[in-house]
Amino acid sequence: MIRLAFATILLACSALGHTAGFDYKLAANEVRPGVFVVSGVNDDLTFENGGNILNTGFIVTGDGVVVIDAGPSRLYGEQLVALIGQTTDEPIVRVYITHHHPDHFFGLQAFDGVEHAALPQTINDLRLLAEGYSDNMYRLIGNAMLGTEIVLPTLAASAGTLEIGSRKLELLALSGHTESDLAIFDTTSGVLFAGDLVFHARAATTPHADIEGWQASLKTLDSLGFEVLVPGHGPVSENNAPIVETASYLDWLSGTLASAADAGLSPAEVMFIPVDARFRNLAVVTNEFQRSVVHLYQALEAALLPATETQ
Task: Please identify, among the stretches 16-24, 78-86, 144-152, 283-291, the one whose residues bind other proteins according to the rule CB under 8 A.
Answer: 283-291
Q: Does residue 16 interact with other proteins by CB under 8 A?
A: no
Cα–Cα dist 7/209, whole Å? 39
Q: What's the full length of the chain, in residues? A: 311
Q: Does residue 306 interact with other proteins by CB under 8 A?
A: yes
H helices of 199-283, in order, are 211-222, 241-262, 267-271
Task: Please identify, among the stretches 157-165, 182-190, 192-200, 259-267, the one whose residues bind other proteins according to the rule CB under 8 A.
Answer: 259-267
When binding is defined by CB under 8 A, the residue of 262, 278, 280, 299 that contacts other proteins is: 262
Cα–Cα dist 31/37, whole Å? 7
Q: Does residue 299 interact with other proteins by CB under 8 A?
A: no
When binding is defined by CB under 8 A, the residue of 88, 124, 134, 136 that contacts other proteins is: 136
Q: Does residue 128 interact with other proteins by CB under 8 A?
A: no
Q: Does residue 267 interact with other proteins by CB under 8 A?
A: yes
Strand order in the sheet with 65-68: 28-32, 35-39, 55-60, 65-68, 92-96, 115-118, 155-156
Q: Does residue 271 interact with other proteins by CB under 8 A?
A: yes
Ranges of beta strands (E only) in 28-106 are 28-32, 35-39, 55-60, 65-68, 92-96
Cα–Cα dist 162/254, whole Å? 36
203 versus 265: smaller Cβ distance to other proteins: 265
Long-range contacts of 5-9 (CB under 8 A, 24+ apart): 6/85, 7/82, 7/85, 7/86, 8/82, 8/86
Task: Please identify, among the stretches 90-98, 229-237, 257-265, 273-281, the one whose residues bind other proteins according to the rule CB under 8 A.
Answer: 257-265
Cα–Cα dist 127/308, whole Å? 39
Contact yes or no for 157/98 (Cβ under 8 A)? no
Q: Does residue 48 interact with other proteins by CB under 8 A?
A: no
Q: Does residue 305 interact with other proteins by CB under 8 A?
A: yes
The distance of closest approach from Cβ of residue 281 to other proteins in the complex, given in angstroms and rounded to an integer, is 21
Task: Please identify, among the stretches 97-105, 147-155, 224-232, 269-277, the one whose residues bind other proteins according to the rule CB under 8 A.
Answer: 269-277
Site residue total, other proteins (CB under 8 A): 30
The distance of closest approach from Cβ of residue 279 to other proteins in the complex, given in angstroms and rounded to an integer, is 17
Residues at the interface with other proteins (CB under 8 A): 136, 139, 207, 262-269, 271-272, 287, 290-291, 293-295, 298, 301-302, 304-311
